[in-house]
A = this chain, B = another copy of it.
Amino acid sequence: MSIAAIANRKLDEQLLEAELLALGSKARAAARTLALAPAVQKNAALLAAAKALRGHAAHILAQNQKDVAAARDQGRPDSFVDRLKLTDARIESMARGLEEIAELPDPVGRVSACWKRPNGLEISRVQVPLGVIGIIYESRPNVTSDAGGLCLKSGNAVILRGGSECVESNRAIHACLKEGLLAAELPDTAIQLIGTPDRSVVGHLLEGLQGSIDVIVPRGGKSLVERVQKDARVPVFAHLEGICHVYVDASADLEKARTVVLNAKLRRTGICGAAETLLVDEAGAGRLLQPLVRALLNAGCEVRGDPASQATDARVIPASESDWGTEYLDAIISVKVVSGVRGAIDHIEKYGSHHTESIIAEDTAAAETFLREVDSAIVLHNASTQFADGGEFGMGAEIGIATGRFHARGPIGVEQLTTFKYVVRGDGQIRPA
A interface, CB within 8 angstroms of B? 32, 35-36, 115, 117, 121, 123, 128, 130-131, 214-215, 235, 253, 256, 259-260, 262-264, 267, 349, 367, 371-373, 375-384, 386-387, 389, 392-394, 405-407, 409-410, 419-431, 433
Q: Is the CB of B430 within 8 A of A384?
A: yes
Q: Is the CB of B423 within 8 A of A371?
A: yes
Apart from A123-B394, A384-B431, 20 more pairs, CB < 8 Å? A36-B372, A117-B392, A117-B394, A130-B406, A131-B405, A215-B406, A235-B235, A253-B428, A262-B430, A264-B430, A267-B430, A375-B421, A378-B422, A381-B426, A383-B426, A387-B429, A387-B431, A393-B422, A409-B419, A410-B422
- A419 CA / B405 CA spacing, docked (Å): 6
Give chain B nearest CB distance to A415 CB in angstroms. Answer: 10
Q: A382-B428, A387-B429, A431-B387 are in contact. Are A421 and B409 (CB under 8 A)?
A: yes
Give chain B nearest CB distance to A424 CB in angstroms. Answer: 4
Contacts of A393 in B (CB 8 A): 117, 123, 422
Of the candidates B349, B376, B428, the one whose C-beta lies within 8 Å of that of A256 is B428
Can you list 16 A-B contacts (CB < 8 A)?
A35-B375, A121-B387, A130-B405, A130-B406, A256-B427, A262-B430, A264-B430, A371-B423, A377-B422, A379-B421, A380-B424, A383-B427, A383-B430, A384-B429, A387-B431, A410-B421
Contacts of A394 in B (CB 8 A): 115, 117, 123
- A419 CA / B377 CA spacing, docked (Å): 10
Q: Is the CB of A382 within 8 A of B422?
A: no
Q: A117-B392, A406-B407, A419-B409 are in contact. Are A428 and B373 (CB under 8 A)?
A: no
- A372 CA / B35 CA spacing, docked (Å): 10
Q: Is the CB of A379 within 8 A of B263?
A: no
Q: A406-B215, A420-B409, A426-B382 are in contact. Are A267 and B117 (CB under 8 A)?
A: no
- A69 CA / B161 CA spacing, docked (Å): 58
Of the candidates B262, B422, B431, the one whose C-beta lies within 8 Å of that of A386 is B431
Contacts of A430 in B (CB 8 A): 259-260, 262-264, 267, 383-384, 386
- A322 CA / B423 CA spacing, docked (Å): 29
7 smallest beta-carbon distances between A and B, as pairs: A383-B426, A263-B430, A256-B428, A386-B431, A380-B424, A407-B407, A383-B429
